[in-house]
Amino acid sequence: MIEKNFKKEDIAKKLSQKTGYSLSFSKIIINNLINFLKVLLQKNNLILKNFGTLKIINKKERIGRNPKTNEPYVIRQRNSIQFIASKNLIKKINKK
């Protein structure tokens, strides 16, 4: 069965099993890769060929409500990440 959610530790274990690297070295690789992707994304959009694009989008301040009490509250302005899948990835996902 394929897992739906992975932690960094899970990815490091899979990398270690596939490559034969030690678990500690695999953790270093995964952490460095994630930090590298963060730095690239902060500077500009991140395009991963044949996979997709990660974009930073600015969300404006807006009024929301608590679903339990229906009380309105202000949702602060914030940055979020948007993922747009590439056409190749969409084709592979839809191929059965």
| CATH number of the domain encompassing residue 67 | 4.10.520.10
- The whole domain housing 22 covers 8-94
Question: Mean pLDDT for the chain?
Answer: 91
Q: Check whether 1 has a pLDDT greater than 60.
A: no
**How many structural domains does the chain have?**
1
Residue 26 lies in a domain: yes
Q: Cα–Cα distances in Å, from 36 out to 29, 33, 40, 49, 64? A: 10, 5, 6, 16, 34
pLDDT in tens, 15-53: 999 999 999 999 999 999 999 999 988 888 899 999 999
Residue 82 lies in a domain: yes
Residue 64 lies in a domain: yes
Is residue 40 within 8 A of residue 80, CB to CB? The reply is no
pTM metric for this prediction: 0.68
Residue 2 lies in a domain: no
Is residue 42 within 8 A of residue 55, CB to CB? The reply is no
